[in-house]
């Protein structure tokens, strides 16, 4: 156990500042995950009627419009300026792959199945954090990553069932999404959250315009427009939240918090579309989530685990610990010989 008295006042203040930053990162990420789940629900319903190209186009157009309206809140359009166009072009391509891949799958398979396969992304983040960010991942976490992909095989059961293009599209989208998370961390020191968010929404918009000619435009009714507007707004919340989280803390530490969306997705799939995951999806999901949680355990071991718990128990817990520390110091002073 680590007590408050194990640190000097300077170390304790530095640790508390780190706690605050980690707490902000988690709050941003959970906000982004909530926005992303709501976007998935809108997408699932819209793709029953509209083409994938029209969905991406309308959702992205509304998203870009909202971003432009919010420009002043993020320091103005000057924050779009950058000298790292190569990285932004890469992120734009990754955003296209993530969006088209995942939404192609979500329109052709049960929501919880798509989300479960999509949640290989945190494991991919852990793996990519080594070559791209130079972070250390020990053999135990590598084992967890491998076991996570065993969970994918349990879900897909190649040979026992047909692995469809929808399955592969979701896995490709998960890889692109994980790469976006890694590159957000890579660019955090020089680029604003606003610029990284706008460019990844604008990219799919341009690609969808080029593809619209193949499917045509179907005029939405009032319900359709409501869902499209909601999807655009949720996409803005998702990108700001996710990028705001990953730029503040280690991807390997934050990524497993995204599993909270899986519970919401399973409930929504059952309530809205009467979707019930089969036993193989349930077993595979359990393996994937367990692997991700083990990654967290290894990431935040030792002193970090103490910090992690302080973040999750909020400022009230920190206040109690500070009070206990002061009381212990007073007792030590009283017990000193005069």
- Condensed to tens digits (0 to 9), the pLDDT of residues 193-230 reads 788 888 888 889 999 998 887 777 889 999 999 999 99
Pairwise CA distance, residues 272 & 106, whole Å: 14
- Give the model's pLDDT for residue 163: 84
Q: Do residues 247 and 192 touch, judged by C-beta distance below 8 A?
A: no
**pTM here?**
0.73
**Structure-token pair, residue 266:** 């399973």
Pairwise CA distance, residues 88 & 195, whole Å: 9
Tell me what the mean pLDDT of segment 160-169 comes to.
Answer: 85
- State percent of the chain over pLDDT 90: 22
Per-residue pLDDT tens for 260-318? 788 788 888 888 888 888 888 889 888 988 887 777 666 655 334 343 333 333 333 44
Least confident of 76-90, 209-223, 313-327: 313-327
pLDDT band at 327 (very low <50, low <70, confident <90, very high): low
Name the β-bridge partners of 158: 161
SS (H, E, C) 244-269: HHHCCCCHHHHHHHHHHHHHHHHHHH
């Amino acid at each position: 156990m680590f007590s408050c008295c194990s640190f000097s006042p300077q170390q304790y203040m530095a640790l508390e500042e780190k706690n605050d930053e980690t707490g902000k990162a988690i709050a941003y990420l959970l906000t982004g995950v909530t926005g992303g789940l709501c976007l998935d629900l809108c997408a699932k319903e819209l793709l029953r009627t509209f083409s994938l190209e029209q969905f991406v186009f309308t959702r992205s157009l509304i998203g870009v419009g909202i971003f432009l309206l919010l420009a002043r809140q993020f320091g103005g359009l000057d924050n779009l300026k950058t000298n790292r166009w190569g990285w932004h072009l890469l992120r734009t391509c990754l955003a296209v792959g993530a969006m088209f891949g995942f939404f192609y799958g979500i329109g052709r398979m049960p929501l919880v199945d798509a989300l479960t396969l999509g949640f290989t992304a945190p494991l991919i983040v852990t793996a990519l954090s080594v070559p791209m960010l130079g972070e250390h991942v020990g053999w135990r976490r590598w084992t967890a990553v491998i076991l996570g992909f065993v969970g994918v095989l349990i879900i897909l059961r190649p040979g026992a069932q047909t692995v469809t293009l929808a399955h592969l599209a979701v896995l490709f989208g998960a890889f692109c999404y994980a790469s976006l998370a890694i590159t957000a961390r890579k660019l955090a020191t020089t680029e604003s959250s606003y610029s990284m968010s706008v460019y990844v929404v604008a990219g799919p918009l341009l690609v969808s315009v080029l593809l619209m000619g193949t499917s045509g435009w179907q005029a939405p009714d009032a319900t359709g427009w409501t869902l499209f507007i909601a999807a655009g707004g949720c996409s803005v919340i998702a990108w700001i939240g996710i990028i705001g989280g990953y730029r503040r803390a280690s991807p390997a530490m934050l990524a497993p918090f995204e599993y909270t969306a899986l519970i919401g997705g399973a409930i929504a799939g059952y309530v809205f579309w009467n979707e019930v995951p089969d036993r193989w999806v349930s077993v595979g999901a359990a393996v994937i989530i367990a692997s991700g949680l083990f990654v967290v355990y290894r990431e935040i071991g030792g002193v970090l685990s103490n910090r992690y718990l302080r973040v999750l128990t909020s400022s009230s817990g920190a206040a109690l610990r500070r009070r206990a520390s002061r009381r212990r110091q007073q007792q030590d002073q009283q017990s000193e010989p005069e």
